[in-house]
Amino acid sequence: MLAALRCIVYRDLLLALRRRSDVATALLFFIIVASLFPLGIGAEPNLLRSIAPGVIWVAALLSSMLSLGRLFAADYADGTLEQILLGAAPLGAVVAAKALAHWLVSGLPLVLIAPVLALQYDLALPLFWVLSLSLLIGTPVLSMIGAIGAALTLGLRGGGVLLSLLVLPLYVPVLIIGAGSVDMAAAGLAPDAQLLLLAAMLITAAAFAPWAVAAALRISIE
C-alpha cells in the first residue's frame, strides 16, 4: 500500500513539475493578492502590521482554492481516476496521497514565500516564525478539506465557482485560528493554544477527510 502511495505522490509531483507554470500561477496569485491590499487600504505601517496576518492568510486560502480544480480534473478527463477506483489500493489512502501531493505543490511554496510578504507588511521578526508555522500546519488542512469540494464538483458545469462556494465556508475555522495565532503573538502572548488547535484540525482532517473524498469520488464517477 505504501508503495502505491509513494507512487501516486511521485507521479503527481512529476506531473506538476512538467507543468511548472500552473504551480507558479497559484504562487504568483498569492503574492499579487497580498500586494493589492496595501494599494487599496493605504501604506500606513501600523495599519499594515495589524492586517498582515489576516491578509496573508486570506490570500493563502484563495490561492490554495484556485489550484483545487486541478486535483482530480485531469485524472478524471483521461480515465486515470476510474482505474484508481478499480485498483487494489484503498481509495481513502490514494486520496490522502493526492492531497499530500497537492499540498507539496500549492501549500508548501506559500509557507516558504510568506516571510517575504511579512517583510512587505513590516511584521516583527519573531512573528515570521509564527506565521510560517501556522501556515505550515494550516495549509494541509486546506488541501484536505478542498479535496472534498473538488471531488464533489468533479465534471460539473460551473465547477470552479461552485467549488469556492462549497469550500470557503468550511475554511473559516482554519482562517480564524491561523490568523489568530499570529495576532496572539503580535500582542505579546504565546500562540501555542492556536497552533495546537490548528494541529488538532490537521489531525482530524487527515483522519476523516480522505473517507469523505473517497465517498464523493465514487458518487461523481459512477
Partner 1 sequence: MSTDSLKWLWYASPQTFYPLAGILARGCAVAAAVLAVIGLYIGFFVAPTDAQQGEAYRIIFIHVPAAWMSMFLYVVMAFWAAIGLAFNTRLSGMMATALAPTGALFTFVALWTGALWGKPTWGTWWVWDARLTSELILLFLYLGFMALQAAIDEPRRADRAGAVLAIVGVVNIPIIYYSVEWWNTLHQGASVSLKSAPSMAATMFAGMIVMAAAFWMYSIAVTLVRVRCIILERE
Minimum CB distance to partner 1 smaller for 115 or for 173: 173
Work out which of 77, 112, 172, 190 binds partner 1, going by CB under 8 A: 172
Q: How far is the CB of 149 from partner 1 (least distance, A)?
A: 8
Interface mask (CB under 8 A) for partner 1, residues 130-169, using x and -? Answer: ------------------x---xx--xxxx--x--xx-xx
Buried/exposed code over 59-79 (b: 16+ C-beta within 10 A; e: otherwise):
bbbbbbbbbbbbbbbebbeee
CB 148 within 8 A of CB 209: yes
Q: How far is the CB of 106 from partner 1 (least distance, A)?
A: 21
Q: Look at residues 192, 210, 201 and name the one whose alpha carbon lies nearest to residue 172.
A: 201
Query: Does 220 participate in binding partner 1 (rule CB under 8 A)?
Result: yes
Smallest separation (angstroms) from partner 1 to the CB of 163: 10
How far is C-alpha 92 from the chain's CA centre?
19
Distance CA 10, CA 98 (A): 10
Is residue 188 within 8 Å of 106, Cβ to Cβ? no
CA dist., res. 161 & res. 138, Å (int): 23
- Exactly one of 108, 173, 199, 206 binds partner 1 (CB under 8 A); that residue is 173
Selected from 27, 110, 113, 216, the binder of partner 1 by CB under 8 A is 216
**Cell match 506531473: residue?**
15
Site string for partner 1, 42-71 (x = CB under 8 A): ------------------------------
Size of the site for partner 1 (CB under 8 A): 21
Q: Which is nearer to partner 1, 117 or 202 (CB)?
A: 202
**Least distance in angstroms from the C-beta of 180 to partner 1:** 9
Rounded CA-CA distance 142/151 in Å is 14
Task: Tell me how far, at minimum, the Cβ of 191 lies from partner 1, in Å.
Answer: 16
13 binds partner 1 (CB under 8 A): no
Rounded CA-CA distance 117/36 in Å is: 12
Q: Which SS3 state, helix, strand or coil, does residue 6 take?
A: helix
Q: Which of 89, 78, 104, 76 is nearest to 217 (CA)?
A: 76
**Sole binder of partner 1 in the list 47, 74, 170, 199 (CB under 8 A):** 170
Which residues of this protein are in contact with partner 1, per CB under 8 A? 148, 152-153, 156-159, 162, 165-166, 168-170, 172-173, 212, 215-216, 219-220, 222
